[in-house]
């Protein structure tokens, strides 16, 4: 078999090329089989196990990273929940404190009002009692003084007073005592 080359080139036979480079189908086959054997052995005992290990490692790293990412997300959620709970507790505590303060204020005011009313009523009662007692004392004193004045006048005059005299003395004494009493009171 020959290859016809353009004018100016010598025609070159394929057999000559094969001969020059030592191409021999036996050697070609042996070299090919040798290469394929090496590839097969390397694939079986080196490439495949190594790639499998690399894939397994990659998968493990990916799952580890995913786990870490999930955990990070979960931690963020937990932190957020914790913060929300703290904020809620703070708000609730503030509300409780505010309510307690309000209630305490209301209670205090109620107590104050009640106390004031009680004091007022006690004061009024005491005033009434004192007034009643004074009136009683005044009345008794007045009665005693009336008869004392009459007796004293009778002794001074050494005569028995008639009933109309007695009444006149008593009236005069009462008027005098009233004047004295009011004068003292106004002082």
Partner 1 sequence: MKRVAKLSLMVFGGMAMNSIAVAADGQAAAEGSSLSASPEVVFGQGITDTLVTSWIISLAIILLMRWLVGAKPTMIPRPGQAVTETVLGGLQSIMEPIVGAKAFGHIFPLLFGYFIFILLQNWSGLLPGIGSILHRVGDSYLGILRPVNSDLNATLAMALISLVAWMYLSIKHVGISGLYGHIFGNKAEKNGIPGFMYGFLFVIFFGVGLIECISIIFRGVSLSFRLYGNVFGGDNLLHNMYTFSEFLTNGGFVKTELFRTASNVLGGGANLIAFVVKYLGYLLPLPFYFLEILVGLIQAFVFTLLVAVYVGLIVKHDDEQHHINLE
Are 2 and 14 in contact by the 8 Å Cβ rule? The answer is yes
Q: What is the DSSP string of 63-87?
A: HHHHHHHHHHHHHHHHHHHHHHHHH
Are 150 and 174 in contact by the 8 Å Cβ rule? The answer is no
Smaller CB separation from partner 1, 46 or 137: 46
> What's the min distance (Å) between Cβ of 8 and partner 1?
22
Smaller CB separation from partner 1, 20 or 112: 20
> What's the min distance (Å) between Cβ of 5 and partner 1?
16
> What's the min distance (Å) between Cβ of 73 and partner 1?
26
**What angle is formed at CA 28 by the lines to CA 26 and CA 33, rounded to 5 degrees?**
95
> What's the min distance (Å) between Cβ of 14 and partner 1?
11
Which residues contact partner 1 (rule: CB under 8 A)?
A: 19-24, 26-32, 34-43, 45-54, 56-57, 60
> What's the min distance (Å) between Cβ of 32 and partner 1?
4
CA distances from 170 to 140, 161, 177 (A): 14, 12, 10
Smaller CB separation from partner 1, 60 or 135: 60
At 122, list the tokens. Answer: 């006690």
Smaller CB separation from partner 1, 41 or 124: 41
Smaller CB separation from partner 1, 22 or 158: 22
**What angle is formed at CA 150 by the lines to CA 149 and CA 154, rounded to 5 degrees?**
115
- Give the distance from CA 166 to its chain's centroid: 87
């Amino acid at each position: 078999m020959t290859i016809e080359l353009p004018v100016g080139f010598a025609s070159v036979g394929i057999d000559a090329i094969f001969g020059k480079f030592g191409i021999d189908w036996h050697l070609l086959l042996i070299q090919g089989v040798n290469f394929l054997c090496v590839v097969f052995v390397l694939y079986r005992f080196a490439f495949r196990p190594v790639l499998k290990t690399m894939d397994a490692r990659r998968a493990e790293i990916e799952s580890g990273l995913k786990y870490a990412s999930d955990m990070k997300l979960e931690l963020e959620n937990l932190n957020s929940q914790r913060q929300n709970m703290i904020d809620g507790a703070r708000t609730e505590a503030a509300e409780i404190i505010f309510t307690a303060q309000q209630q305490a204020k209301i209670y205090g005011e109620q107590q104050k009002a009640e106390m004031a009313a009680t004091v007022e009523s006690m004061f009024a009662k005491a005033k009434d009692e004192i007034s009643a007692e004074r009136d009683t004392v005044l009345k008794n004193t007045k009665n005693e003084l009336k008869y004392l004045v009459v007796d004293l006048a009778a002794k001074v005059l050494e005569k028995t007073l008639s009933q109309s005299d007695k009444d006149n003395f008593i009236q005069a004494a009462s008027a005098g005592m009233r004047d004295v009493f009011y004068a003292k009171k106004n002082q």
